[in-house]
A and B are shown apart, each in its own frame.
Chain A
Amino acid sequence: MRIMIVEDEQRARRGLHNLITMISDRYEVVCVAQNGKQAMEMIQSVKPDVVFTDIRMPYMDGLSLIKAIQALDLQIEIVIISAYEEFETARQAISLGVREYLIKPVTVEEMEGGAEEA
């Protein structure tokens, strides 16, 4: 499974990358981006199966990224990993067809569940 990570904090990007690769050999992080804008620049060429994205990011936030990805109609599953447990954001995300909404910090069990779901 080809995975893209979109996260503005460097340590979090690295930690998430390590966590995903640690869970299973089936998961391959093919691309990491610092924000939604950067992710959109790469996604056409990378074409990941799953995008793990944060919500609050500079230039383009997570929800805008999700809308942009869906506009491309690339059949990409999206999992949100956010530090903010906000009802309205979660509602919008679910309405946009997001597969899973994980709250930071993410445990191994949660990541396994989220990846399996995707």
Chain B
Amino acid sequence: MREFAGRLCNRVKQYWKSHIWSGPVTFSVLFIVFAVSVMLYYFKQEYIQYLKDETYNSEQMTLISASRNLNFIMDDFVSAGSDLAIRPEFLAAVDGYQSAGEEDRAVSQKELNGLLTTYARSNKWIYDLAIVSSDGLVFEYDKVRSNKGSMWGNQGQQLLSDLYEGVAGRIEGKDIPQYHVAETFFEHPNISDIWMFSIAFPLKGADVSSDLEYVVVMSINAQSLSEAFDFISHDRKDIIKTYLSSDDGTIIYHTEKEYIGRENSAYLEADKLENISQQIERAEWNLNISIDEVRMSERIDQIYWTGIGIFAVVICVLALIMIICLRAIIRPIFYIRDSIDKVKRGNFNEQIEIRGYHEIWQLAEEYNKMLIAIDAMTMAVEQGQQEKLLSIRKQQEAEREALESQINSHFICNTLGVINYEVIETGNYKASTLIKKLSNILRYTFDQRHQNVYMCQELSWIEQYLFLQKSRLEEAFDYEIRVDEGFDDWPCRKLMLQPFVENSILHGFEGRESGGFISITGSLNGDRLELVISDNGSGMPPETEQVVRQILTEPAKRHDERVGIGISNVITRMRMCYGRRFEAFIETEESVGTTFRFLIPQIEKQEEHNENYDS
């Protein structure tokens, strides 16, 4: 497992390093995540503070409204209870019920019950009305009487007694108002989940100054207070807690019943709540609102982390889009890389297919052009190498031939010198001239050390060559050499014109005894010497012309060796001498003649090769 994790880690690193977009995308994503996280955290803290402030402010206002509302609700109950307590007929009915004998009790009870029923039905939240004396329960009207008995039946006697004592105490203390609200809420003994509270009123009838004998205890469903509680908590019951507490700090009623009876301070501390409260004047209760700041922070944290999650998803989607876009942008680079791999294996021919116009596609297009240029240069270098090798081989052959002919050269020329004297002494001056020209030609030809000569030497040699050939063939042909001035010191290769002239004489004028003509002209064409050798001979057949034309353009290439060996050799040497600006052309037509045309650039004479131009 560890090995697999290591391999995976290495592959991710390798991938990250090998892609140009990895760095920008990673750093962009990290930066955005960092920046947005900091911003969100800042906003979260600010929002929490804002929410607390707003909540406290609004809850303070709500608390005042709710307490006022509670007072109104309590006013209804107090009004109803007070109205009952001051009615003389009600007091008389209670007295009648108390003083009635066995035979009259049923009537009295019915009368009293009717009165209580009338009052109890005036408000739906009044569940029970009880008449209590110092001795305890006197009479009770229970709206929801069940088979378990009445609400006060056999229980709650202590609470009734406390209520009686409470009213009595207020009368004795001359406190206004004289009714007493119980500080204890209790669960209805016969109905589950119904909580009740009670208010005790002194029953004095019309004479308010009379002694207290009876107290009317009105028991009310605590649900009646819910409207006020709901008004406070509404939809934030998980954060806002509403409850009632007594002056001694005990929770007397809470929407969550398990807290009833607990110490308020302990409750706040245990649940880490913040508390605001308002006294309910009618009941001497305190209406409390506690705010669960921890819960509030949790809610905001939940929103915050949900936001972070959504943000992370958005960032991932953005990163994915960025990666896809970047990969699309740099796709040409992949093509170039693949092409480079092919080039490394020697394949220069596969071009990149251009599919766009932006800068990297332009680069790919330039790369294609570069491939073409490299291919052309490679071919040129290969051709140059072939030409060079051919030239070296021919040079070596020439040197070997030169060595072989050196001895012969001196011997022949000296012998010709002796023959010349013999001829002159016999008076044959024409033969002397022929010997002279032959000797010059042989000396020039045999001198293999000096291959680079001047144009004037080459033209002089060709003139003597033509003179001898003309003498040999008598009237078969005539010739003319007409070269403009200014080319005498142009460097050239020795014997570079001989094969073309020889071609005219041997092939062009073959079988002819008169009328042949060879013309050699030279003039400036641009910055090159245009040298034209033309004859009016038999011309060349198309297949020979084709071979010669190929030789003139690609002398290093292997051709039909039966044709143009001399031309091939001399063109190769001329290419080596003059470079690529040298050009050779042929025009020939059977029975019309052949014309060779050369464009010869002027080349710089190398100092170290000066000797080569000596002759």
Task: Tell whether, in the assembled complex, residue B413 and residue A83 are in contact, meaning their CB atoms are under 8 Å apart.
Answer: yes
- Complex Cα gap A83–B422 (Å): 17
User: In the complex, which residue of chain B has the Cβ closest to the Cβ of A12?
Assistant: B417
- Complex Cα gap A22–B422 (Å): 13
Chain A residues, CB < 8 A from B419: 105
Q: Encode contact with B along A1-29: 1 for CB under 8 Å, 0 otherwise.
A: 00000000101101110110010000000
Chain A residues, CB < 8 A from B443: 85
Task: Tell whether, in the assembled complex, residue B418 and residue A11 are in contact, meaning their CB atoms are under 8 Å apart.
Answer: yes
Taking the closest CB of chain B, its distance from the CB of A108, in whole angstroms, is: 5
Chain A residues, CB < 8 A from B418: 11-12, 15
Whether a CB of chain A sits under 8 angstroms from the CB of B433 is yes
- Complex Cα gap A16–B419 (Å): 12
> Which listed residue, B424, B436, B440, B613, touches A19 by the CB 8 Å rule?
B424
Whether a CB of chain B sits under 8 angstroms from the CB of A107 is yes
User: In the complex, which residue of chain A has the Cβ closest to the Cβ of B427?
Assistant: A22
Taking the closest CB of chain A, its distance from the CB of B260, in whole angstroms, is: 136
Chain A residues, CB < 8 A from B422: 15
Whether a CB of chain A sits under 8 angstroms from the CB of B504 is no
Knowing A87-B614, A88-B614, A104-B439, say if A22 contacts B424 (CB, 8 Å): yes
Chain B residues, CB < 8 A from A106: 420, 436
Task: Tell whether, in the assembled complex, residue A15 and residue B424 are in contact, meaning their CB atoms are under 8 Å apart.
Answer: yes
Whether a CB of chain B sits under 8 angstroms from the CB of A103 is yes
Question: Which residues 407-428 in B have Cβ within 8 Å of A in the complex?
Answer: 410, 413-414, 416-422, 424-425
- Complex Cα gap A18–B419 (Å): 14
Taking the closest CB of chain A, its distance from the CB of B460, in whole angstroms, is: 11
Task: Tell whether, in the assembled complex, residue B436 and residue A83 are in contact, meaning their CB atoms are under 8 Å apart.
Answer: no
Chain B residues, CB < 8 A from A116: none
Whether a CB of chain B sits under 8 angstroms from the CB of A86 is yes
Whether a CB of chain A sits under 8 angstroms from the CB of B615 is yes
User: In the complex, which residue of chain A has the Cβ closest to the Cβ of B421?
Assistant: A15
Question: Which residues 69-118 in A have Cβ within 8 Å of B in the complex?
Answer: 83, 85-88, 103-110
- Complex Cα gap A108–B431 (Å): 11
- Complex Cα gap A28–B413 (Å): 28
Task: Tell whether, in the assembled complex, residue A107 and residue B436 are in contact, meaning their CB atoms are under 8 Å apart.
Answer: yes
> Which listed residue, B413, B424, B613, touches A108 by the CB 8 Å rule?
B424
Question: Which residues 28-64 in A have Cβ within 8 Å of B in the complex?
Answer: none
Task: Tell whether, in the assembled complex, residue B425 and residue A15 are in contact, meaning their CB atoms are under 8 Å apart.
Answer: yes
> Which listed residue, B410, B435, B613, B614, touches A105 by the CB 8 Å rule?
B435
Chain B residues, CB < 8 A from A83: 410, 413-414, 417
Task: Tell whether, in the assembled complex, residue B436 and residue A18 are in contact, meaning their CB atoms are under 8 Å apart.
Answer: no
- Complex Cα gap A16–B424 (Å): 10
Chain A residues, CB < 8 A from B436: 105-107, 110
Taking the closest CB of chain A, its distance from the CB of B432, in whole angstroms, is: 5
Chain B residues, CB < 8 A from A108: 424, 429, 432
- Complex Cα gap A46–B436 (Å): 32
User: In the complex, which residue of chain B has the Cβ closest to the Cβ of A83?
Assistant: B413
Task: Tell whether, in the assembled complex, residue B615 and residue A12 are in contact, meaning their CB atoms are under 8 Å apart.
Answer: no
Chain B residues, CB < 8 A from A16: 421
Chain A residues, CB < 8 A from B410: 83
- Complex Cα gap A74–B597 (Å): 55
Task: Tell whether, in the assembled complex, residue B421 and residue A18 are in contact, meaning their CB atoms are under 8 Å apart.
Answer: yes
Chain A residues, CB < 8 A from B614: 86-88
- Complex Cα gap A113–B418 (Å): 21
- Complex Cα gap A53–B419 (Å): 20
User: In the complex, which residue of chain B has the Cβ closest to the Cβ of A16?
Assistant: B421
- Complex Cα gap A108–B428 (Å): 10
Knowing A87-B613, A88-B614, say if A104 contacts B424 (CB, 8 Å): no
Taking the closest CB of chain A, its distance from the CB of B291, in whole angstroms, is: 119
Taking the closest CB of chain A, its distance from the CB of B611, in whole angstroms, is: 8
Chain A residues, CB < 8 A from B615: 85-87
Chain B residues, CB < 8 A from A105: 416-417, 419-421, 432, 435-436, 439
Chain A residues, CB < 8 A from B435: 105
Taking the closest CB of chain B, its distance from the CB of A89, in whole angstroms, is: 9
User: In the complex, which residue of chain B has the Cβ closest to the Cβ of A110?
Assistant: B436
- Complex Cα gap A103–B615 (Å): 12
User: In the complex, which residue of chain A has the Cβ closest to the Cβ of B435?
Assistant: A105
Taking the closest CB of chain B, its distance from the CB of A36, in whole angstroms, is: 20
Knowing A15-B418, A87-B613, say if A104 contacts B413 (CB, 8 Å): yes
Taking the closest CB of chain A, its distance from the CB of B326, in whole angstroms, is: 72
- Complex Cα gap A107–B436 (Å): 7
> Which listed residue, B413, B414, B433, B613, touches A107 by the CB 8 Å rule?
B433
If A18-B425, A83-B413, A107-B436 are given as contacts, then 18 extra A-B residue pairs at C-beta distance below 8 Å, sorted by A number, are A11-B418, A12-B417, A15-B424, A18-B421, A19-B421, A22-B425, A83-B414, A83-B417, A86-B614, A87-B614, A103-B440, A104-B417, A105-B417, A105-B421, A105-B435, A107-B420, A108-B424, A108-B432
Interface on A for B, CB 8 Å cutoff? 9, 11-12, 14-16, 18-19, 22, 83, 85-88, 103-110
The 10 closest A-B pairs by CB, nearest first: A15-B421, A105-B420, A87-B614, A105-B417, A104-B417, A107-B436, A107-B432, A108-B429, A11-B418, A105-B439
Q: List 28 A-B contacts (CB under 8 A).
A: A11-B418, A14-B421, A15-B417, A15-B421, A15-B422, A18-B421, A18-B424, A18-B425, A19-B424, A22-B425, A83-B410, A83-B413, A85-B440, A85-B615, A87-B614, A87-B615, A103-B440, A104-B413, A105-B416, A105-B417, A105-B420, A105-B421, A105-B432, A105-B436, A106-B436, A107-B433, A107-B436, A108-B424
Interface on B for A, CB 8 Å cutoff? 410, 413-414, 416-422, 424-425, 429, 432-433, 435-436, 439-440, 443, 613-615
